[in-house]
């Protein structure tokens, strides 16, 4: 039980800004960390739902509500996944050989393409939030999406070939106690998220699952072709892209399907 709590603390300390007790990164403490990764999404979804009720209760403008909704994931996670998104955009935009792309991912500096990609991502996210149906059910669907995207991202890290034997993804994947076991737990958590989505709205949930499945297949193909496997930055790119797909489908189709 103590080992599970330590793994949970590592997951939240790494992937959120939530203050948690400091835990040493030993193989024993890291082994189940990915199992708790989706719980960070639960926390983020909770904050979004709370913000929705504050937004509506205080009668704030649509633009202010959308702006805070876009900023919340960055405030909760510290922007770790968006950083990976920007690095991946830089690497893909270089059209360089595989080894050079991996070097770009490791570069702590952001390039012009990464800046543009980040700006476009945030701008599109803001626009979609302004179009989102103004109902608790729509926000609840987005909240479940935060956890669902982390289930898929974590499963890919333990299930896909890795591009290199070092880095954050390799550290977590290598320490996972039986990758199959961690993968099964993540699949189970993902199915629970999908069930919650279907309870909110069957048609919309089906559309979201189709969209995320297509993105997941593209992610595997792209990571293998362009990088020779997945890395922590690529996992961040996928997570951000997955959240954008879920937000986009809900904003565009939610008015008819909820």
Q: Categorize the per-residue pLDDT at 7 as very low, low, confident or very high, splitting at 50, 70 and 90.
A: confident
Q: Which of 25, 30, 24 is nearest to 182 (CA)?
A: 30
11 contact partners, CB below 8 Å, separation of at least 6: 33, 34, 35, 36, 37, 39, 40
Question: Token pair for residue 142?
Answer: 């987005």
- Which phi and psi (to 5°) does residue 59 adopt? 65, 35
Does the pLDDT at position 93 exceed 90?
A: yes
Interval 99-111 mean pLDDT: 92
Q: Which of 68, 65, 118, 158 is nearest to 244 (CA)?
A: 118
195, with CB counted inside 10 A (0-12, 13-18, 19+), is exposed
Does the pLDDT at position 212 exceed 90?
A: yes
Weakest-pLDDT range from 30-44, 56-70, 139-153: 30-44
Q: Categorize the per-residue pLDDT at 234 as very low, low, confident or very high, splitting at 50, 70 and 90.
A: very high
Alpha carbon distance, N-terminus to C-terminus of the chain: 40
What pLDDT was estimated at residue 181? Answer: 82
Interval 220-234 mean pLDDT: 94
Distance of CA 178 to the CA centre of its chain: 23
State the chain's mean pLDDT as an integer. Answer: 91
What pLDDT was estimated at residue 71? Answer: 97
Q: How many residues comprise the chain?
A: 258
157: number of Cβ within 10 Å: 27
Q: Are 213 and 175 spatial neighbours (Cβ–Cβ below 8 Å)?
A: no
> What distance separates the 2 farthest-apart alpha carbons in the chain?
53
Q: Are 16 and 40 spatial neighbours (Cβ–Cβ below 8 Å)?
A: yes
What pLDDT was estimated at residue 98? Answer: 94
């Amino acid at each position: 039980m103590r080992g599970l709590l330590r793994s949970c603390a590592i997951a939240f300390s790494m992937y959120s800004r939530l203050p948690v007790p400091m835990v040493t990164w030993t193989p024993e403490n890291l082994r189940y960390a990915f199992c708790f990764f989706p719980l960070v999404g639960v926390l983020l979804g909770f904050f979004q739902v709370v913000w929705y009720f504050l937004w509506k209760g205080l009668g704030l403008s649509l633009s202010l509500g959308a702006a805070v909704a876009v900023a919340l994931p960055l405030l909760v996670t510290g922007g770790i996944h968006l950083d990976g998104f920007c690095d991946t955009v830089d690497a893909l935009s270089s059209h360089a050989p595989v080894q050079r792309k991996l070097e770009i991912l490791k570069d702590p500096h952001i390039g012009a393409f990464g800046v543009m990609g980040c700006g476009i991502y945030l701008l599109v996210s803001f626009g979609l939030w302004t179009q989102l149906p103004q109902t608790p059910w729509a926000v609840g669907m987005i909240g479940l999406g935060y956890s669902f995207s982390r289930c898929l991202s974590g499963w890919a890290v333990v299930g896909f070939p890795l591009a290199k034997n070092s880095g954050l993804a390799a550290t977590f994947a290598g320490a996972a106690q039986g990758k199959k076991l961690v993968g099964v737990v993540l699949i189970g958590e993902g199915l629970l998220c999908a069930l919650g989505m279907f309870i909110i709205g069957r048609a919309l949930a089906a559309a979201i699952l189709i969209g995320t499945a297509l993105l997941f297949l593209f992610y595997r193909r792209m990571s293998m072709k362009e990088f020779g496997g997945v890395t922590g930055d690529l996992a961040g790119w996928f997570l951000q892209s997955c959240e954008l797909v879920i937000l986009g489908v809900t904003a565009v189709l939610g008015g008819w399907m909820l």
